[in-house]
Structure 1
Amino acid sequence: MKQEEVNCCQIHEWYPKFKSVSIKTIIHELPESFIQYLDGGSGPFLLPMSVSNEDALPNRIHKPEDEEDYQVSEGSEDESEQPPPPPSFPELELKIKDSIESLGGAVFPKLNWSSPKDTAWISPTGTLKCTSFSDIALLLKSSDSLVHDLCHAYDSCTDKTLSRPPHFYLALRKWYPSIRPEMEFRCFVHAQQLVGISQREVTAYYPSVLERKDELKDLIHDFFFNNIEGRFDSEDYTFDVYVTKDRRVKLIDFNPWGAFTLPLLFAWEELEQGGRLEEDVEIRIVESQHTVRPGLKTAVPYDYIDMNPGSGWDQFLRNADEELQHQMRSSEAGA
C-alpha cells in the first residue's frame, strides 16, 4: 500500500467529489495548536475554556484547582505552583458552533480518517452525538483510536516518508437519530472491480436483513456502478454505505485496502484472489445466531491487532471457532 492510497481516503479529499451521494458534512482545517492539545501526552485532562458557555464538564474546565488531583499538598517544595490554565480555541469553537447549527443542531465528528468510536460511552447518550464544541473536544481528547490518525496513519505504507499528514481536518457530519446499524455495509474494490460486500454490524443477527440479501446486493452494486466506479483515485480500496428505508444508498466513508481496515466477514486473502466478474460479487451477512462475530467489534486499528500464532487474538479466534463448531454440531444433533 502506498501513501497516496491512504491519502485518497481522507474525508476532505473524497467528500467534495461524492457529496451528492453522501451524508451532509462540513469540514474544518484544524490549527496545529488544537492538534497538540489532542496529542498532549500524559498531562492533566483539561477541556478547552468555552467562549459560548456550552461546557460539557464545567468544573473540569473552569476550576480544575477545585479537584483533588490538582490540590497542592502541604509541605510541597513549591507552594506557589498552580495547575496549567485550560486551553482556549475561540475562533475554532465559533466556527464549529455555526456548523452544528447549520447541520440541524447535532453532529458526529471524525478526523481525516477516524471517528472517536471508542469514547462513545463518555457521552450522556452513549453515542457520538455532539451538540457543542465541548462535546466534540471531550470525545476527541479521550479517544485512543484517534492516535492512529495523529501518529500512525502511514505505518503500513511501503513508501512511508511521513509519520503524520501535514494538515488535520475535523469533519462534522449531520446526526441522524434513526440510523439502523444492520443496514451499513462495507464494500471491497480490487483492481477497480467490486469483489465483495460485507455487513458491517457482525456482532448481531438480523433476520430481516437476511431476507433482503439479494435485493441489498443489487442496490449496492448499482450504486457502485452509477456513482463510484472509475471516480475514486485508487485501484484497490473499500467503501462503506448505508441503505435507507426507502432503498436509497448513502456513501459513508472510504478506507484503504488492507492495513488498518477490517475485512469483517471476509479474509483479505480471498478478496485479493480477484477474478470475480462484477455480476458475481458476493455479499456476506450474519445468517444465524451461531455465526455472530463478537471478536470483531473493536475500535483498535486492524493493523495493530497481533494475529500471529500464539497471540491473544489468535487464541481468542481459535476458541471462538471451536465454540461455533460445537454449537453447530449440537444444533444438528438436536434437529
Structure 2
Amino acid sequence: MKEEVNRCQIQEWYPKFKSVSIRTLIHELPESFVQYLLDDSGPFVLPVSISNEDALPNRIHNPEDAEDFQVSEGSGDEAEPSLPPSFPELELKVKESIEALGGAVFPKLNWSAPKDSAWISTSGTLRCATFSEIALLFRSSDSLIHDLCHAYDSCSDKTMSRPATFFLALRKWYPSLLPEMEFRCFVRGQQLVGVSQREVTTFYPILCEKKNDLEVLIEEFFNDNVRLKFESEDYTFDVYVAKDERVKVLDFNPWGAFTLPLLFTWEELEQKPREGVELDFRIVDSQCAVRPGLKTAVPYDYLDISAGSGWDQFLRNADEELQRQTRSSEAGA
C-alpha cells in the first residue's frame, strides 16, 4: 500500500526516532534540482558551486578534456551554449548542515542512498564534505531512479510514480562503523519475527560469539522503542549495535516488494504466524554459508530474477557452489 511505503521515507520516520537514530538534517529539494537529477538529455555537468568547490579535486584539469563536455552542434546553426546548473540556496543550506554535523555526511533521498556511485568519489565511499560531492554521487547513481521514478511500483493502490516532494537527508558520517554490527529486522503483525545479518557476503566469527546477546539487545530495543511507534503492521527496519551495546535505528523499509530479505526468503517470512512466533535470528555462521552476490548496489526492483534471466542463472550457480562446498565440508568432517 502507498501509505506503508510513505511511512518508510526518512523525513516521515526520523522525527519519531530521532533520539535512537543517527543525527540527521533534512532539506526539502527544489523541483529544479530533482529535474537536474532526472535529466539525461545532455552531457554530464555538475552544478556550478558558489563556493568554488570541486567534487573531483584530484582530477587533471586539461583544456583537451573539455572536448568531452562541449555542447554538440545542432542541425544547421550552432546550438546556443547552455549555462551550467546552479542551486545557490540549496548549496548554502547543505554547507551549513555539513558543518553542523562535523564536516562530513552520508547523503540519501526519501528512501535510497546512492550506493552504486560510491566508486566515483575520491574516497570510494559515500562520505561527502561538500555540496558538489553530493551532486556528483546523486547524478551518477542509478539506484536513486527507484525513488525518482518507481517508488510506488509495488503498491496495489498506485496512483503516481513518485512523491510530490523529495528530500535530501544528510546523516552524520561515522568512519568507525562496523559492517558486521548492522542487522535487518523483519516485523510481521507488529511482532519481530526475524533478524538477519545485513552484510551477508562475509563470515564474521564475532557474530557467532555474540549472537545470543545481540538477539536480546535487538528484541528489547524493538519492544521498547519501535513496536508502538511505527504504525505499519508489516515492515522491516535496519539497526546498528554499537560497542557500548546501544542500538540505533538506521532505516525503515516496506515488507516484501523491493526490500532484500537477505538470509531469509520472503516465502519463509510470509509463512511465519503473526502472533506467538519465536524470533528467528540468522547470521552467516561459517565461511561456507556466505551468500555471494547479495551485496549489490542495484535496488531489488532492478534485478531481473525471472526464470532464465542472467541474475536467476547467477543465483542458481551460487547456490550450486554453496551446496558443493557444504558437501565437501561434510565429507571431510
TM-score (norm 2): 0.94
- 1-structure distance, mates of 2:293, 2:8: 25
Residue 290 of structure 1: how far off its partner (Å): 0.8
Q: Which amino acid aligns with 1:144?
A: D
Q: What residue in structure 2 maps to residue 298 of structure 1?
A: 296
**Offset at residue 57 of structure 1 (A):** 3.6
Amino acid at match of 1:184: E
Aligned ranges 1:1-335 → 2 under 5 Å: 2-57=1-56, 67-71=66-70, 77-78=76-77, 80-275=78-273, 280-335=278-333
Matching residue's letter, 1:187 = C
2:32 maps to a residue whose letter is S
Q: How far apart are residue 85 of structure 1 and its match? A: 1.8
Residues 72 and 79 of structure 2 are in contact (CA less than 8 Å); yes or no, is this contact kept in structure 1?
no
Assess, with a 3 A threshold, how the Cα gap between structure 1 residues 63 and 49 changes in structure 2: closer, same or farther: farther
CA shift in 2, pair 1:74/1:259, >3 Å = closer
Q: Secondary structure at the match of 1:259?
A: coil
Q: 1:247 to 1:75 in 2, by over 3 A?
A: closer
- TM-aligned CA distance change 1:101 to 1:70, over 3 Å: closer
Query: Secondary structure of the equivalent of 2:192?
Result: strand
What is the alpha-carbon root mean square deviation over aligned residues? 2.2
For 1:38, the aligned partner's letter is L
Distance 1:192 1:64, change over 3 A: farther
Whichever residue aligns with residue 45 of structure 2, its letter is: L
SS in 2 for 1:148: helix
Q: Match for 2:210: what amino acid? A: R
Change beyond 3 A, Cα 1:122–1:66: closer
Higher mean displacement: 291-300 or 130-139: 291-300
Q: Is the 8 A contact 2:56 2:122 kept in 1?
A: no
Question: For 2:305, what is the secondary structure of its paired residue?
Answer: coil
Q: Secondary structure at the match of 2:194?
A: strand
Instruction: Give the distance between the partners of 2:71 and 2:45, measured in 1 at CA.
Output: 17
Matches of 2:89 and 2:11, distance apart in 1: 20
CA distance in 1, matches of 2:53, 2:7: 35
For the 8 Å contact 1:185–1:197, the answer to whether it is kept is yes
Residues in 2 aligned to 1:322 and 1:73: alpha-carbon distance in whole angstroms: 50
Quote the Cα distance in structure 2 between the aligned partners of 1:9 and 1:51. 33
Deviation at 1:306, TM superposition (A): 2.1
Which structure 2 residue ranges, 5 or more long, are not aligned? none
Give, as a single letter, the amino acid of the residue that structure 2 aligns with 1:27. Answer: I
Deviations 1:36-61 (A, max 9, x none): 0000123211110000121214799x
Query: 2:166 & 2:150 partners in 1: Cα distance?
Result: 13
2:186 partner SS: strand
- Deviation of 1:6 after TM superposition, in Å, equals 0.4
Contact 1:198 1:283 in 2 (8 A): yes
Q: Is the 8 A contact 1:194 1:278 kept in 2?
A: no
Asked if structure 1 preserves the Cα contact closer than 8 Å seen for 2:200 and 2:263, the reply is: yes
Distance 1:319 1:185 in 2: 26
Deviation at 1:329, TM superposition (A): 1.4
How far has the Cα of 1:242 moved from its partner? 0.2
Q: Report the residue type matching 2:285 in the other structure.
A: E
The Cα shift of 1:67 comes to 1.0
Pair 1:286–1:75, CA change in 2 (3 A): closer
Q: 1:158 to 1:74 in 2, by over 3 A?
A: closer
Measure how far apart 1:325 and its partner are: 1.2
* Letter of the 1:17 counterpart: K
Q: Which moved more, 1:323-332 or 1:193-202?
A: 323-332
| Percent of aligned positions that are identical | 73
How far apart, in 1, do the equivalents of 2:168 and 2:107 lie?
7
1:217-273, Cα deviation, whole Å (9 max, x unpaired) = 110000000000121021110000000011110000000001110000001111112
Cα distance, 1:276 vs structure 2: 6.4
Q: Could you tell which deviates more after superposition, 12-21 or 278-287?
A: 278-287
* Residues 225 and 278 of structure 1: CA distance in aligned 2, closer, same or farther (over 3 Å): farther
Are 1:70 and 1:83, in contact at CA under 8 Å, matched by a contact in 2? no
Q: Call closer, same or farther: CA 1:303–1:180 in 2, change over 3 Å.
A: same
| Distance in 1 of aligned mates of 2:240 and 2:258 | 21
- The 2-side partners of 1:137 and 1:157 are apart by 29
User: Residue 109 of structure 1 contacts residue 173 of structure 1 at CA under 8 Å; is this kept in 2?
Assistant: yes
